[in-house]
Structure 1
Amino acid sequence: MNARAELPSPAMTRSTPRGLPRSLTTGLRWLLWLAFNAFALYLVVALYVQKQMAFALLGLVVTGIASYLFINRRMYAQRYIFPSVAGMLVFVIFPLLYTVGIGFTNYSGTNLLSQAQVEQYHLSQTYLAGERFRFSLHPSPEGERLRIDKGEQGVFVSPPLTGEPDAESPLLLQPAESVEGLGDALALREVIQRRKALEQWVMQVPDGSLLRLYGLREVAAVQPVYRQDGPGVLVDTRSGARLTADMERGFYVDETGKAVPPGFTVFTGFANFSRVLTEPSIREPFMQIFAWTFAFAGLTVVFTLAVGLVLASLLQWELVRGKAFYRLMLILPYAVPAFISILVFRGLFNQNFGEINLLLDSLFGMRPDWFSDPALARTMILIVNTWLGYPYMLLLCMGLLQAIPRDQYEASAIDGASPLDNLLRITLPQLIKPLMPLLIASFAFNFNNFVLITLLTRGGPDIIGATTPAGTTDLLVSYTYRIAFQDSGQDFALAAAIATMIFLLVGAMALLNLKLSKVKV
């Protein structure tokens, strides 16, 4: 057989298995790459124009990585994991860095804007400096015009409202008699649609006075409250008082030092972190909540493991009949949504009408204050969370107990060991090692168990003397949430600083636990 006859033809080498020319598929790939980059760059520019610098930078980084992986042939395999990496950048790393960044500012409910936005807000404030006059908006061949009725002074019409409004070049009003071709006045709803554009125009009457839109049917001699007098300095046009930008407080302040809202965001360094550690009214509640959070997470793991292990051991007992029914009933709490169970328990523990207090009152003549006493409130939380968490540990222990050889227990019985000896010397040593990563995960989950605290106690009862909203049953995560969204000042920066400290603490504890359990990371 001729060896040359077995070689593929040139047409075959230039085609893909589906029959498309290789040059065409390459061109399609590059076209798709260009389209993706054009769309991504459009979004980046749009975010930059809206002054969303952080999001624009994020889009630029993700687009740059995607383009690098596409162009570099040696990174071909990494293309398949890029979606997961991009998702991690967008939904994990970026929010984390953004939160950390906010912790170094004074970002709050009173300091939401940038300095340029606050300055523009002050410069846009006006006051009424003269009479008000009725106006109407009319179409004309050259464009829409304003018709202003000044009563005895006459009726005036503006030039066509075309181009960009310029406060420095006001529109000169003309007598209505000199203007022809005005149509019927537009309806009020059409004026409302054009309100933002109409507010930008300034009109000058022949006598020299300036008119601006004042409401939906009137114009008036409106003057700006402030004028700019250098970078970061505003002057009140009525009194001559000066406002100066205070870059430490994030406010424009008057000559007496009084802040004039709204405020703007400024960099404060480690001030928020310092407040948490040095300010007594914040430090003491924070340390108390941190200690309770640590105890709550640890005790929950211990209690749920203990209950789950005991029940799993009982279900392994050969003398127990109807094991399938018992397994179903014991796992049933795991099938009910947690928020439903929590709300049910909130009703059961009601101090006045709850079934638990009614039962205790009939038996022992006592009605515990579950929601107003700190110790009882914490006990209630541990009881509820143990009920919610033990089915998970039960399932784990049932599976792991099956893997322990039965002959070990038989040999232990021959030696006269008690059930407690079996638990401590056989069962626990063989369960702890495979359970340790799951116990660490359970600890981390309960460390941030926001739903339980919010639905059951809402963090109460409150800690006396705290300047931030803090409760004796608050976890760090619910404490942070209350500072950010329930405090009157909405101190997002302080909440971000605490969230950063939570991340560092949980990360350090997780690494320590993994090292102690000798789990490879």
Structure 2
Amino acid sequence: MPTHKKNSPRWFGPLLLIAALLAALYIVVVVHAAGQTLLAATLLFITALAAWLYTSPRFYAWRYLFPGIAAAMVFVVFPMLYTIGIGFTNYSSANLLSFQRATQYHLDETAPAEGDPLAFTLHADGPEFRVRLSDPDEESKAWVSGPLALKNTAPLKLAVEPAPQVKLPLGEPLPLRDVIQRQAALKALTFELPGGRQVVMTGLRQFSGLEKVYEQREPGVLVHKRTGELLKANHQTGFYEKANGERVTPGFQVGVGFDNYRRIFTEPAFREPFLRIFVWTVAFAALTVLFAASLGMLLAVLLNWDALRFKGVYRVLLFLPYAVPGFISILVFRGLFNNNFGEINLILDALFGIRPTWFSDPTLAKAMLLIVNVWLGYPYMMLVCMGLIRAIPADLYEASAVAGAGPLTNFFRITAPLVIKPLTPLLIAAFAFNFNNFVLISLLTGGRPDFLDTTVPAGTTDLLVSYTYRIAFEDSGQQFGLAAAVSTVIFLMVAAISMVQIKFTRISRDPAR
């Protein structure tokens, strides 16, 4: 008994690890069966890595880091790889399905079968209902269903009996409004006539037979059952096509290589707005950082002035824009800049007799974005600069005062040089953040006013990230593959900025370099 107590903790860990690995493998199989091959491969790699780390004594310390590494792989690495992978496909609203599912979709298409439709009427049978089918040309041919609740919309196949064999008398046909109320349940019914013919609801007053439109002759080739017309799968375009080249939707996903990237930089429809939007994105991020940092530093210097009274009150008031949630401030500014009723235009009209069209003029819209973004960003810069200024030795300013230097000399010779160097990595990080500032664009201007010479949705105030969103979700084709390619380009740009930031951070920490 004592031996059992001593050995039980030794086996508990391995058994728990084995159970966790088996559960993870089961999840991998389920995910792969659902068609998510890349996600299944990622989970399988994480499972194998877990088994290696938790069974090898050489990597004991890594066991505590593994949960964080696994989370980063699932929530950061996998979405990144998935997005990059989509950029090499024709994935769009017209090419959502795999080739197998698109083929099955066409094979499942139905059309009214040859033959006259049957008229139908709906009759009450106590709390339930009966359906009466009849041939419009020969009223003696009629059939009646059994009692139906008509509360379920799940598909259901039922047989009907000839009307003379139904002994119960049918009441008056229910009005059309009752048929419409139960239309969903009626459409789920398939009635089989005595001769084997099957009919479904095809109108508010008729049932008719359905038949398959296509049948598969060979893999990738479908034939129309009535006309004999062939549909052939084109794995270059991702569509089944007729002999004349007409595409039949829905299409299917195929790999297109670097075609999406080629379109970004070579097709005029995408190249021209992309280059203009790229230039504006860089200018927007750079000007925001410049103005916010300058304003923040100026306010920090003023708030560190010893002779200034009520400094605590000023700090609280100047910090408020940062304390209020950003999206609330943006929506408030959207109302303030309203062309007709905004307070800003009302004041300008009263003082100067002008009403700027902030949202329809491209230059004014860009200026408005910079004003709002600087308002949101300067408090953080001010706080950082205040801390950096307080870290400057006071004897430097005392020596400067003895030399007869003024405030401007102190700022440009002492304060600015000693603040800029440690502030540089933060400025680079702020540039990278504003490079992808989707929330501001989406809530304030939506990227508008739009360019008038482009066929894709693109606006004069769009950043690359909002331009990508509009391609993916607002374009008529919803070109997800192209949007993923643009996202990959943005990712590479931001990664380059991050590398520069890391380099500057290293330099600022190592004075010898």
The alignment status of 1:49 with 2:47, answered yes or no, reads no
Aligned counterpart in structure 2 of residue 433 of structure 1, from 399, 421, 439? 421
Are the equivalent residues in 1 in contact too, given 2:296–2:378 (CA < 8 A)? yes
SS at match of 2:211: strand
Shift of 1:502: 0.4
Shift of 1:519: 5.5
SS at match of 1:21: helix
Aligned counterpart in structure 2 of residue 370 of structure 1, from 358, 383, 388? 358
Aligned counterpart in structure 2 of residue 211 of structure 1, from 171, 195, 198? 198
Change (3 A) 1:386 1:64: same
Aligned counterpart in structure 1 of residue 89 of structure 2, from 96, 102, 105? 105
Change (3 A) 1:235 1:204: farther
SS at match of 1:229: strand
Aligned counterpart in structure 2 of residue 463 of structure 1, from 427, 434, 451? 451
1:311 maps to a residue whose letter is L
1:258 maps to a residue whose letter is E
The alignment status of 1:315 with 2:300, answered yes or no, reads no
The alignment status of 1:21 with 2:9, answered yes or no, reads no
- After superposition, give the CA deviation of every residue in 1:422-473 in whole Å (9 maximum; x if it has no partner): 2222112211222122212111111111111111111111112122211111
Deviation larger for 380-389 or 37-46 = 37-46
Aligned counterpart in structure 2 of residue 501 of structure 1, from 480, 489, 503? 489
Residue 476 of structure 1 corresponds to: 464
* Alpha-carbon separation, structure 1, partners of 2:37 and 2:60: 31
SS at match of 2:364: helix
Shift of 1:114: 0.6
Aligned counterpart in structure 1 of residue 380 of structure 2, from 392, 398, 418? 392
- After superposition, give the CA deviation of every residue in 1:480-511 in whole Å (9 maximum; x if it has no partner): 11111111211111110000000111111232
SS at match of 2:293: helix
1:211 maps to a residue whose letter is Q
Gaps of 5+ in 1: 1-9, 137-146, 158-170, 177-187
SS at match of 1:51: coil
Residue 36 of structure 1 corresponds to: 20
Shift of 1:333: 1.2
Residue 278 of structure 1 corresponds to: 266
Residue 265 of structure 1 corresponds to: 253
Change (3 A) 1:498 1:520: farther
* Alpha-carbon separation, structure 1, partners of 2:256 and 2:452: 28
Residue 342 of structure 2 corresponds to: 354
Shift of 1:320: 0.7
Shift of 1:70: 2.1
Residue 171 of structure 2 corresponds to: none
* Alpha-carbon separation, structure 2, partners of 1:154 and 1:320: 98
Change (3 A) 1:190 1:385: closer
- After superposition, give the CA deviation of every residue in 1:295-336 in whole Å (9 maximum; x if it has no partner): 111111111111111111111111111111111111111111
2:370 maps to a residue whose letter is L
How do 1:79-90 and structure 2 match up within 5 A? 79-90=63-74
The alignment status of 1:380 with 2:368, answered yes or no, reads yes
How do 1:340-351 and structure 2 match up within 5 A? 340-351=328-339
Change (3 A) 1:204 1:32: farther
1:338 maps to a residue whose letter is G
Residue 66 of structure 1 corresponds to: 50
Shift of 1:246: 1.1
How do 1:214-253 and structure 2 match up within 5 A? 214=201, 220-253=208-241
1:123 maps to a residue whose letter is L
Are the equivalent residues in 2 in contact too, given 1:273–1:497 (CA < 8 A)? yes
Are the equivalent residues in 2 in contact too, given 1:514–1:520 (CA < 8 A)? no
Q: TM-score under structure 2 normalisation?
A: 0.83
* Alpha-carbon separation, structure 1, partners of 2:347 and 2:142: 86
SS at match of 2:461: coil
Shift of 1:190: 13
Residue 6 of structure 1 corresponds to: none
Change (3 A) 1:233 1:484: same
Change (3 A) 1:453 1:43: same
* Alpha-carbon separation, structure 2, partners of 1:316 and 1:418: 16
The alignment status of 1:287 with 2:275, answered yes or no, reads yes
Q: CA RMSD in A?
A: 3.3
Shift of 1:192: 8.0
Deviation larger for 247-256 or 356-365 = 356-365
* Alpha-carbon separation, structure 2, partners of 1:204 and 1:461: 61
Are the equivalent residues in 2 in contact too, given 1:205–1:211 (CA < 8 A)? no
Are the equivalent residues in 2 in contact too, given 1:125–1:225 (CA < 8 A)? yes
- After superposition, give the CA deviation of every residue in 1:180-221 in whole Å (9 maximum; x if it has no partner): xxxxxxxx999989998x87xx97965xx6536557999754
How do 1:169-180 and structure 2 match up within 5 A? none
* Alpha-carbon separation, structure 1, partners of 2:39 and 2:79: 10
* Alpha-carbon separation, structure 1, partners of 2:433 and 2:457: 23
* Alpha-carbon separation, structure 2, partners of 1:45 and 1:190: 41
* Alpha-carbon separation, structure 2, partners of 1:289 and 1:337: 27
Aligned counterpart in structure 2 of residue 123 of structure 1, from 95, 104, 107? 107
Change (3 A) 1:135 1:32: farther
Deviation larger for 127-136 or 510-519 = 127-136
Shift of 1:340: 1.1
2:6 maps to a residue whose letter is P
Report the identity percentage: 52
SS at match of 2:453: coil
SS at match of 1:235: strand
SS at match of 2:215: strand
Change (3 A) 1:213 1:65: farther
Are the equivalent residues in 2 in contact too, given 1:303–1:386 (CA < 8 A)? yes
2:463 maps to a residue whose letter is L
1:43 maps to a residue whose letter is I
Residue 499 of structure 2 corresponds to: 511
* Alpha-carbon separation, structure 1, partners of 2:27 and 2:144: 45
SS at match of 2:111: strand
- After superposition, give the CA deviation of every residue in 1:221-251 in whole Å (9 maximum; x if it has no partner): 4221001011100000010000011111111
Residue 402 of structure 2 corresponds to: 414
Are the equivalent residues in 1 in contact too, given 2:161–2:193 (CA < 8 A)? no
Are the equivalent residues in 1 in contact too, given 2:428–2:497 (CA < 8 A)? no
* Alpha-carbon separation, structure 1, partners of 2:143 and 2:338: 72
Q: Give the aligned length.
A: 470
Deviation larger for 391-400 or 410-419 = 410-419
Change (3 A) 1:63 1:193: farther
How do 1:444-463 and structure 2 match up within 5 A? 444-463=432-451
* Alpha-carbon separation, structure 2, partners of 1:65 and 1:446: 36
Are the equivalent residues in 2 in contact too, given 1:290–1:476 (CA < 8 A)? yes
